Structure 1
Amino acid sequence: MADGFSTAAFYTVAMMVVSYLICGIPFGKILTRVMTHKDIQAEGSGNIGTTNALRVAGPKVAALTLAFDLLKGMVCVMFFRDVVVAGNSWAPDVSTDVMVALVALAALYGHIFTPYLKFHGGKGIATGVGILFGFAWPLALIHLAIFIVLVAITRYVSVGSIVTAAVVPLTVHIMFPALNPIALAIWALLGWTVVWAHRGNIARLRAGTESKLSFGSKKEA
């Protein structure tokens, strides 16, 4: 039992570190610099995510930023779930649900607290959706649909982002009612960390000063 738990802990911690470092790669900043010679952190909202990339560098850079941020989260979680976890026989005391959830959390934290930019990263929506695709694609599609509908109705990217992140523990519980409670708590932490990353947007929404989605605006919705 102890040996099995130690092995699981080793694999999990190792993949958490790898996922943190991979998902910390600031593709928005890199792509904006390479393709437009601009510093995304010095313009618009200063955020390195897709929305500010759209404002600062245009739709092509924004689309690439979205794709890379989504893929890095998806690949890390999918590799751990389908190769590492599925490819080993684990002791009965090992919860693979918790292992996967921890790696997912590390991937998200890599993006939001990237070590390459003094721990100032993005807000986690694209990478978060990628993580959900790596974990369970139907769950990701549900959250993507929630996001798209809310943005279409309100024209606030932040509203779609905050709501879809806030309901992560609810949707995970509905889709996986037998999930280990510790794993569910980790998924809740993942979703609510994204909400926390939008605290500035929440303050602006309450004050009525949040900008709506507009291709011409330099502010981040």
Structure 2
Amino acid sequence: MSLPILTAICALGCFLICGIPSGLIIARASSEHVDVRKVGSGNIGMTNVARSAGASAAALTLLCDAGKGAVAILLARLVIAQVAFGGDWSQTLPQAQGGLASATLYASCVLGHIFSPYLHFKGGKGISVGLGAGLGFCWPVALSMLAVFVVLAIPTGFVSLGSVFAALSLVPLALLFGVRGLALVPLAVISLTVVWAHRENVRKLLRGEERRFSIHKKGDKLERGATDADAEKSAAEAAANDGKDA
């Protein structure tokens, strides 16, 4: 089997595994029994789970999202190493001959989470799964991105700020650690897609409206999802305009 075909098959497997909506499942099974798509930001990621289902659910979501990314890419790299390189794992390192294949697997993990095939291609924002898959792709790059995230998110309380700059640091850090050539293309796709997934957060940051990280406590009132709130606001505005016209 040729390397491109094998990579495509393994990438599909990564996409399907990482598309599993861990946050949605965990929040529903939590004591709050909440559908995170209908509260807060409407996102299925760890941050919205923390705000709607509490610390335990958020920690489990982080573990599961990062875990599925790490397991998916490591298993896929193992298959490629065995089938395409006679069991030589080193050939799947990002700096080696199979670097493009490994970078493609990494991108598939993140894209699977953001565009979950189980939720009509809507999902999370790729940060937790990106950490896990990144560790399986090139751990020095992943840990450096985590450092960027921590330096920005912890002091400010804005998870989105750390996430966006961590994503933007991916390609420069990959270059720093020896990744070259076409292997950088899937990494650029990851970076741009994660920033795109945070586009509303970026707008709110620029307007000074972004919420800081918070953890839901039992008894706290849940916020309605942004989509529902926007829809109700639009309906109210339309009704007001109809009244004026009348």
| Structure 1 Cα separation of the partners of residues 138 and 118 of structure 2 | 29
What TM-score, normalized by structure 1, do the two folds share? 0.89
Partner of 2:39: 43
Listed as ranges, the matches of 1:147-166 within 5 Å are 147-166=149-168
Residues 1:86 and 2:88 are matched in the alignment: no
1:36-87 CA distance string (max 9 Å, x none)? 3211101111100000000000000000000000011111112222x12332
Partner of 1:103: 105
Q: Does the C-alpha gap of structure 1 residues 18 and 89 become closer, same or farther in structure 2, counting only changes over 3 Å?
A: closer
- How far 1:137 moved relative to its partner? 1.7
Partner of 1:76: 72
| Structure 2 Cα separation of the partners of residues 20 and 215 of structure 1 | 29
Partner of 1:168: 170
Tell me the SS of whatever aligns to 2:2. Answer: helix
CA contact (8 A) 1:77 1:103 kept: yes
Gaps of 5+ in 2: 87-95, 226-246
Count of residues in Structure 1 that have an aligned counterpart in Structure 2: 211
* Equivalent residue for 1:137, pick from 123, 136, 139: 139
CA contact (8 A) 1:133 1:140 kept: yes
* Equivalent residue for 1:64, pick from 57, 60, 66: 60
Residues 1:185 and 2:185 are matched in the alignment: yes
RMSD, matched Cα: 2.1
- How far 1:95 moved relative to its partner? 4.0
| Structure 2 Cα separation of the partners of residues 20 and 200 of structure 1 | 24
Partner of 1:11: 6
Partner of 2:212: 212
Partner of 2:239: none
Per mean C-alpha deviation after superposition, the further-off stretch among 43-52 and 187-196 is 187-196
CA contact (8 A) 2:66 2:131 kept: yes
Q: Which residue identity lines up with residue 188 of structure 2 in the other structure?
A: A
1:14-35 CA distance string (max 9 Å, x none)? 1111111100000000011112
CA contact (8 A) 1:8 1:90 kept: no
| Structure 1 Cα separation of the partners of residues 17 and 209 of structure 2 | 35
CA contact (8 A) 2:52 2:215 kept: no
Q: Does the C-alpha gap of structure 1 residues 174 and 180 become closer, same or farther in structure 2, counting only changes over 3 Å?
A: closer
| Structure 1 Cα separation of the partners of residues 207 and 140 of structure 2 | 35
Q: Which residue identity lines up with residue 163 of structure 1 in the other structure?
A: F
CA contact (8 A) 1:98 1:180 kept: no
